[in-house]
A and B are shown apart, each in its own frame.
Chain A
Amino acid sequence: MFDIYLTLIARGLSTGAIYGLTAMGIVLIFQTNNILNWAQGNAGMFITYLAFFLLALQLPYPLVILLAIIAGAIMGGLVEKYLIRPVREKSRIGLLMITLGLAMVFEGLAAFIFRPFPRNFEPLLKGSIAIGPITLGQQDVLVIVLSTLIFASLFLILYRTKIGIGARGIAEDWYGARVLGVPVFTISLIIWSISFALSGLVGILIVPRFALEPHFMLPIQVKAFSAAVLGGMNSVLGAAVAGLLLGVMENIIAFHFPYLQESFSLVLVVIVLLFLPTGLFGKKTQRRF
């Protein structure tokens, strides 16, 4: 009996890693731009369609993953430069509509161009492996390993590079950074690129669990939002940990009460926020005057 829980937890970690990666993208953009990016999930969906057709061209799978990440980065950059930047200092509510609209546009375009019926999308790794009492799909292991690597590199970028420290500065004080001559727009563009690149990767890794169709990322987007809020909306670490936590708890709940799986995350968010209004990792910024 206990063994089943170990397996549930391990699989939950894999799902949670997907939530965490998506939540990190949302938090990065929210922090540096003060915008909720509703399109984080659907950008990944759109890129996954591109990947589907690249795979159909018999390109090697790892190369397709790489191309999808690059496509995401380019897409994120274009969105920042041509949709966000012109509006950012003029209308806050406009920005919210832009990302929401973008999510719809991706969905509509995907249905229009690629047809809305579900397609089967093969995982990169098909088999499963047994680690002691735990049975886990190889793709799940891949997800956990990749997301650990990505998290570590994001952390290095944010704390060890000029661009990352600049991004943290922008997150705290956009005007202050601009006055100092920090290239705020360039950094913002890089953050959008990173976030969309993450969304592309997430799409390809998770789509084999569902089927490729225009709204397969919707549940991921909702859970990732929940994770981002649970994590306090202000730290990449919080997003990652909350994502993992949500994935694990949800998996256990789903085992016992399958019908509660979808609503569970939102209920959990509400409960946590009742007691910890700033999320699990949210901290009030300390400031002395």
Chain B
Amino acid sequence: MLKIEALVSGYAHLEILHSINLKVEKGEIVSVLGSNGAGKSTLLRTISGILKPWKGTITFEGKLLNDLDPIQIVKHGVVQVPEGRHIFPGLTVKENLLLAGYKFGKIELSERYDSVYTMFPVLKEREKQLGGTLSGGEQQMLALARGLMPKPTLLLLDEPSLGLAPKLVTLIFKTLERFRDEGLTILLVEQNAKRALEISNRAYILATGYLALEGNSSDLISDQNVKRLYLGR
């Protein structure tokens, strides 16, 4: 579904990703793990078109994404939930959702609201509340809901569990599994390696912009090196 070959990318003159190969098949949850500064967010930003690839190719369902802008990439069904949520604090919950569904017309929009509210009933209750007044957990729900608004086929998630209490982290990961059960494909960037490996099919481990390791999550979770370096045991 998503195929990344020999991707090089970075900011201005700073090369962050050095020749990355990665693929995501339909219906999978694929994790990208690694410590701070490994290039995880850079990878997602490049897929989303916020950063332009320097070299290499990003293809999604056979189409080359390299030269598309973020708007077109969202239209193709690749949607990112960015790190730190980026909720609009002064916009209502519904307005936050509206902007995520910007590409739709009126009729389709109201369908999307219904579908997202079915997934997250709490947001329906808070529809008219300002985004900035939601609790951290609710904000993350809103961020995920915004990810669903444009009807994605591939969801890119950047650290969805960041800064949340353990109980909420569990809730978020449960939600991701629900997404998968409903047919969504997910590329998940996480620092919480253990939880990510538990729910994903496969995983890639990035270290300073290089691909250090890849494999089935079930294999990686018992790998001695992975345990030592990323699982803290």
Chain A positions near chain B (C-beta within 8 angstroms)? 162, 165-166, 168-169, 172-173, 175-183, 285-289
* Cα separation A218 to B201 with both chains bound (whole Å): 65
Residue from the list B90, B100, B135 in contact with A180, Cβ < 8 A = B100
30 contacts between A and B (CB under 8 A): A162-B102, A165-B91, A168-B90, A169-B88, A169-B91, A172-B88, A172-B89, A173-B86, A176-B82, A176-B86, A176-B88, A177-B99, A178-B70, A179-B80, A181-B71, A181-B75, A181-B79, A181-B102, A182-B99, A285-B132, A286-B89, A286-B130, A286-B132, A286-B133, A287-B89, A288-B133, A288-B135, A288-B139, A289-B136, A289-B139
Across chains A and B, the number of contacting residue pairs, with CB separation under 8 Å, is 79
B18 located at the interface, meaning its Cβ lies under 8 Å from any Cβ of chain A in the complex: no
- B window 91-109: CB within 8 A of A: 91, 95-96, 98-100, 102-103
List, in ascending order, chain A residues with CB within 8 A of B163's CB.
289
Contact status of A169 and B95, CB under 8 A, knowing A179-B80, A181-B102, A288-B132: yes
Q: B146 near A: Cβ within 8 Å?
A: yes
Q: Are B98 and A165 touching (Cβ within 8 A)?
A: yes
Instruction: Give the residues in chain B near A166, CB-CB below 8 Å.
Output: 99, 102
- Residues of B57-101 whose CB lies within 8 A of A: 70-71, 73-75, 79-80, 82, 86-91, 95-96, 98-100
A180 B89 Cβ-Cβ under 8 A: no
Question: Are A181 and B73 in contact, CB atoms less than 8 angstroms apart?
Answer: yes
CB distance from B6 to the nearest CB of A (A): 25
Q: Residue on A with the closest CB to B92?
A: A165
Q: Return the 9 tightest CB-CB contacts between A and B, nearest first.
A: A181-B74, A176-B86, A286-B132, A287-B132, A172-B88, A179-B82, A169-B99, A169-B88, A181-B71
Report Cα–Cα, A288/B70, bound state, in Å. 28
Contact A175 B86 (CB under 8 A): yes
Instruction: Report chain A residues within 8 Å CB of B130.
Output: 286
- Residues from chain B with a CB closer than 8 A to the CB of A182 are 71, 99, 102
For A168, give its contact among B88, B136, B146 (CB under 8 Å): B88
Return the chain B residue nearest A186 by Cβ: B71
Chain A nearest CB from B117 CB (Å) reads 18
Q: Which of A162, A175, A180 contacts B74 (CB 8 A)?
A: A180
- Chain B residue with the shortest CB-CB distance to A163: B102
* Bound Cα distance from A172 to B130, whole angstroms: 13
